[in-house]
Structure 1
C-alpha cells in the first residue's frame, strides 16, 4: 500500500499544500486563500477540511498518510505551541494537537523560513550539504539554519532570524522588529528601494534611476547589470550589509553553504557575486571558502520542507 504525506505552507495571504509520496516526490499541489478571522484556529480548520476532502477525493485512506508537516509564520516550539500569529488572528494554542484533533493524522510543525531552508537542503540548491544557511530576500529578510540535516530552531522556535542581525549601529530609523540597523533595512526589496532613494538625494551624475517615479529592487538590479553607476552603488551597498551579516552567521554555525532565495534572488549572479565580495573580508580565514548559491525551489521550498519534517 503506497504511502504519502502532506506539506502545508501557511502564508499571510495564501496556503500552499503539497502531496508527496514516501520517497519525497511531489505528486500534486494546490493553493487557497488564507481566511483571516479573530481566531487563528479557523485557519487550521480550513486546512483540516481541505486535507480530509483531498483524501476522500483521491480515494485514499488515512492509514496511507504518514503525516502532515506545517510551516507557519512566526516562532513555533517543537511541541507545536505557537504564542502568536502575526496578522493572522489570535493564537496561543498547540498546532500539532489542534490539527491532529481535526484530522486524526500525525502532525509536525516549524517556522516557515526554517522549513523553506529544509526544503532547499533536501531537494533544492542545498542538496548534498548537511549544514547550510538559507536567507530569503523579499519584503523583509528571513532565514533558516540547517545543521546536520536538522532545523536549528532554538529553545523557543525563534532561531535563524538573520534579517535582524545588527549591521549598522548608526542607523536611526526603526526596523519593523523595533530596533535599528538590521540587515533587513538594507538588503530586503524595501530596503534596496530606500537605499536608492537615499543615494539619489545627493547624486549629481547621470542615472536612469532618476527617470522613473517607481523605483523597485528589480529595476535597481536590472540597471546595475546594464552598468548604471548609481544602481551598481546601491546593489553593492545592500550586498555589503548582507555579506557582513552572513559572515557573523558563519562564525556561529559554520555552514558548508549559503543559499539565497526570495524575490530579490531573481536578480541572479550579480547578487551572489557582490554578497560574496563583502562576505570574504569580513569573516575569519577558516570560513572564507564557502559556497554561495541561488535557491532553486522557488515558492515550493516551504511545502518540500514541510514534507521533510514527516519523511526525515
Structure 2
C-alpha cells in the first residue's frame, strides 16, 4: 500500500508554486503566474483550474500558504499581500467544495517555517524563524517545536514595522531594489554575479538593513536559528558580509555567538510545509502538533 499524497500550495504575489508531496518528497511540481490585479472571482477560478490536474484521486488533502491574514479555523483569508481584490476570501470553502477534499490554510511564511523545520536545516532547533524575503517580507515562528501563528496567523509581521522613512519590508525585500532603482531584484542579482560595483553596493546596503531587522527579531524572540527564503535570499553571498557586520553590533554577544543564520537549501520549503500542515492537521485534528519527524 502506498502512503498518502498531499498537495502543497504556496500562493505568492506574482506566482503560485504547487507540488504533490508523498513521504516528505516532492514528486511533482508546477508553477503558474498569479493574475494579481484581476477580480477575486477570476483569481479563484484560475486557481481551481490550475490545481485541477494535480488533485487526483489519491491526493487526500490540500494545504495552502497565503501571504495575508488567515483565519485558519474558518478558512478565510484577508488582505492578501499584492492581490488587491482578495480582501476577504472564503478560500477553504471554495476549494473544498470544488475538489471535495479537505483544505487547510496558514500564512505563507508559516508554511515556509514548517517546511524548514520538518525537512530542512531547522530540524535540530526547537526555536527558529523562517524569514521569507521575496516580493515582500514575512516571518514564520517556531517556538518549542510548534508554530506560533498568533491571531489570524499575523504573528511575525516584522516587515510592517516602521523603519527609517518606510517599513522594514521596503528595505529588506524585493521592494528595496524596485523602489530604489526601478529595476527588479533578478536584474541586480545577475549584475552582482558579474561583479558589477553598483549591484554589489546595493546588496551590501540591503544586508545592513536586514541585519537591523534581525536585531528586532532577536530582541523579540531570541531564536536559535533564522533561515532565509524567497527570491532575495538567492543573493545571500552578496549581502552576507553587510548583514553580519550589522549583526555584530547586537549588544548580547552570547546570543549572536549561538545564532545560526543561513539561506534555506530547500527551493520548495513553503510547498513542503503546506503539505506537512495538511498531514499534521489530519493526524491530530484537535491539537497543535509538534513539528518533529
- Normalising by the smaller structure, the TM-score range is 0.7 to 0.9
* Structure 1: runs of 5+ lacking an equivalent: 172-179, 198-213
Q: Is the 8 A contact 2:66 2:77 kept in 1?
A: no
- Which protein shows a greater Rg? 1
Query: Is the aligned partner of 1:5 residue 2:6?
Result: yes
- Say whether the 8 Å CA contact 1:186–1:194 is kept in structure 2: no
Cα distance in 2 for residues equivalent to 1:50 and 1:190 = 28
2:264 paired residue number: 295
Does 2:45 correspond to 1:76?
no
Tell me if the contact between 2:55 and 2:99 (Cα under 8 Å) persists in the aligned partners: no
Give 1:44 shift.
4.0
- The correspondence of residues 200-279 of structure 1 with structure 2, limited to 5 A, is 216-218=187-189, 221-222=192-193, 228=197, 234-279=202-247
User: How far 1:190 moved relative to its partner?
Assistant: 3.9
Are the counterparts in 1 of residues 7 and 55 from structure 2 also a CA contact under 8 Å? no
CA RMSD of superposed structures (Å): 3.2
Q: How does 1:48-197 map to 2 (within 5 A)?
A: 48-56=48-56, 61=57, 64-79=58-73, 80-85=75-80, 86-87=82-83, 89-168=85-164, 171=165, 180=166, 182-192=167-177
Report the structure, 1 or 2, having the larger strand content: 2
Query: How far off is 1:38 after superposition?
Result: 5.8
Secondary structure, aligned partner of 1:282: coil
Please identify, of 279-288 and 101-110, the stretch whose mean Cα deviation from structure 2 is larger. Answer: 279-288
Aligned pair count reads: 274
Cα separation, 1, equivalents of 2:34 and 2:136? 20
2:48 & 2:202 partners in 1: Cα distance?
45
SS at match of 2:170: helix
Report how far residue 31 of structure 1 moved: 2.8
TM-score (norm 1): 0.74
Which segment drifts farther, 248-257 or 183-192? 183-192
Q: CA deviation at 1:117?
A: 2.5
TM-score of the pair, normalised by structure 2: 0.78
Displacement of 1:288:
1.4
Residues 53, 222 of structure 1: alpha-carbon distance in 2 compared, 3 angstrom cutoff: closer
* Structure 2: runs of 5 or more not aligned: 281-293
- Residues 231 and 285 of structure 1: CA distance in aligned 2, closer, same or farther (over 3 Å): same
Kept in 2: contact 1:131–1:257 (CA 8 A): yes
Query: Which residue pairs with 2:283 in the alignment?
Result: none
